[in-house]
Amino acid sequence: MGKEDYTVDGVPKAKAPLFCSLRITLAIVAFFGFFLCYAQRNGLSVGIVCMVDPKADAGHQTNSNSTISRNFPAACKYNEKTIARSPNQVLSWPKSTRGVILGSFYWGYALTQVLGGIAVGYLGPKRFLALLVFLSSLCTLLIPFVAKYHPAIVIILRSITGAAQGGVWPTIFRFWSSWAPAGERTTLLSLQSAGPSMGTIKTPWIDMLKSKAFWAIMIGMFFCDFGLYAIWTVVPEYMNEVLLFSIEENGFFSALPHIASLIVVLTTGYLADYIIREEYVKRVTARKIFHTIGTLSPAICLLAISFLDCTRRYLAVGLLTTGVALNGFMMSGGYVVNVGDFSGVHSGVVFGICNTVSSIGGFCAPYLTSLITKDVSTKTTAQWRIAFMIYAASFFISTIGFFLLVQGETEPWAKKQNTINYDADAEVNKDLIEMKDKKDVIV
């Protein structure tokens, strides 16, 4: 494949292929890093169902041989059974405590978004990411050993885990603002998203806060993430209380939506780049399409799920899997990659600020759900219906807000300190380039 001329600061460069490059290698490494981080973030949502005594919400403990009877809807009599307590279900954490524990991750997560982006300027991305992942992993490993002593210890460890992971996204976005050209941005970001040096930059705060594009990200991210955080943290309990799945079934069916989302993100990232590169649609139109599919689909599916009970539990799993899978369009071509479209070298700051605000949903969603669904013995389905309608409404707001405000090109305030032009519509060559001289290669 021939190489095309390109210039950066007046220096001639040549087009570099994406495959077999350091860019794709780094994207793969980032994929596994995000896989590890999100497993640590969301694994407790399923684990807590396996750790807590089924009678914890009744206000008393049971011995290892006791059983608990559940109130099933009349139509679910064929599912009625006595649920034996597992030997591992030894913790007496009521639902309100579980809600705080599941949300505590986002207490720390919200505090380090901007600080993490600044710190990477001093430590460098490799060392900083290694430090963050190590700290997050260490805290996660300690939880099984200390959970039996007091829930406050778990809350502290989860908060530290969240604080460590809070710096990951801003670091990645600042990194790809330099390494990912417009023509490959969606492909590279979607690859790492499947797994989903600002200290020296003077951010033009006033211009940024006046930008419609900034508020498109803020609104789109906050309300989409509220729904996502709810799904990530409370679905295992929903499958336990309403759909009446066993612990083994719960783990499998809770994972299905995320497996489906992984497949969608990996297969649609290149699609977004392709339709933009071939000029089938403008970049801003592609972002609108992908974000709308990614947020409207789970909203519709959640509304439908809210009217189902255990008699149609496999339909509920299918709808949940479909909604979360199609949400992958948002990850591969919606607000996640739109941050880099308009904010240039300030993408880390923009994402850090918006992700800080959206983290509010991370600790509010599980606690709010615990309040709405606190009575597990009566009207469980009706209570969960209210919760799912709130999640669906949040996705709807994300759809509308992003659609009305999104911008597709680098904004003037973001170009002031960006000496490399990554605007794909401004040049014929839309791809990242490299020098023919192997000593000066941008890959």
* Arithmetic mean of pLDDT, 151-166: 93
More confident residue, 422 or 346: 346
**Number of Cβ within a 10 Å radius of residue 35:** 15
Residue 5 is assigned to a structural domain of this protein: no
Instruction: Supply 96's token pair.
Output: 């309100």
Confirm whether 162 is domain-assigned. Answer: yes
- 136, 114 in Cβ contact below 8 A? no
User: Is residue 423 over pLDDT 50?
Assistant: no
- Percent of the chain at pLDDT > 70 equals 72
Which helix H or strand E contains 8, and what residues bound it? strand 5-8
Q: What distance in Å separates the CA atoms of residue 375 and residue 3, rounded to the nearest whole number? A: 65
Which residue's structure tokens are 């570099």? 16
Q: Which residue has the higher pLDDT, 413 or 326?
A: 326
- CB-CB contact of 269 with 186 (8 Å): yes
What is the number of other CB atoms lying within 10 angstroms of the CB of residue 438?
7
310, 73 Cβ separation under 8 angstroms: yes
What per-residue string of b and e applies to 113-138 under the rule 16 or more CB within 10 Å gives b? Answer: bbebbbbbbebeeeebbeebbebbee
Residue 119 pLDDT class (50, 70, 90 cuts) = confident
Query: Which residue has better confidence, 348 or 279?
Result: 279
**Sign of CA pseudo-dihedral 20, 290, 237, 42:** positive
In a domain, 331, yes or no: yes
* pLDDT tens digits for range 310-323: 889 999 999 999 99
Where do the H-state alpha helices sit in 19-150?
A: 22-51, 95-111, 113-123, 125-146
Q: What global pTM score does this model have? A: 0.70
Pairwise CA distance, residues 419 & 398, whole Å: 33
The Cβ of residue 184 has, within 10 Å, a number of other Cβ atoms equal to: 26
Shortest CA distance to 145 belongs to which of 156, 137, 153?
Answer: 153
DSSP summary character for residue 12: E
Q: In this model, does residue 68 exceed pLDDT 70?
A: no
Tell me, yes or no, whether 72 lies in a domain: no
Instruction: Output phi, psi for 414, to 5 deg.
Output: -90, -10
* Distance separating alpha carbons of residues 353 and 385, to the nearest angstrom: 32
pLDDT at position 183: 55
As a whole number of Å, the end-to-end CA separation of the chain is: 16
Please state the rounded mean pLDDT for residues 28-39: 78
Q: Which residue has the tokens 């369009």?
A: 329
In a domain, 279, yes or no: yes
Mean pLDDT computed over every residue of the chain:
77
Of 51-60, 143-152, 347-356, which has the strongest mean pLDDT? 143-152
The distance of Cα 367 from the centroid of its chain, to the nearest Å, equals 19
- Alpha-carbon gap, residue 189 to 180, rounded angstroms: 8
* CATH code (residue 427): 1.20.1250.20
Residues ≥6 apart with Cβ < 8 Å to 425: 182, 283, 409
What does the pLDDT read at residue 340? 82
Question: Residues 403-429: what's their mean pLDDT?
Answer: 64
Q: What is the residue whose two structure tokens read 């939506």?
A: 257
Q: What is the pLDDT of residue 430?
A: 38
156 within a domain of the structure (yes/no): yes
Structure tokens at 168: 């990951």
Report CA 332 to chain centroid distance, whole Å.
12
- Which residues lie closer than 8 Å to 281 by C-beta, 6 or more apart? 275, 289
Opening angle at CA 122, ends 118 and 128, nearest 5: 80
Our count of domains for the chain comes to 1
Asked if the structure places residue 65 within a domain, the reply is no
CA angle, corner 194, sides to 191 and 195, nearest 5? 105
Task: Give the domain range for residue 155.
Answer: 12-60+87-434
What percent of the chain is modeled with pLDDT above 90? 27
Integer Cα distance of 269 and 271 in angstroms:
5
The answer on pLDDT for 190 being more than 80 is: no
Contact of 302 with 388, CB cutoff 8 Å: yes
**CA–CA distance, 368 with 227 (Å, rounded to integer):** 12
User: Hey, what amino acid is at 439?
Assistant: K
Structural domain contains residue 343: yes
Measured CA to CA in angstroms, residue 65 lies from 69, 192, 245, 262 at distances of 14, 46, 20, 40
Which helix (H) or strand (E) is 68 found in, with range? strand 67-69
Average pLDDT (386-396) is 95
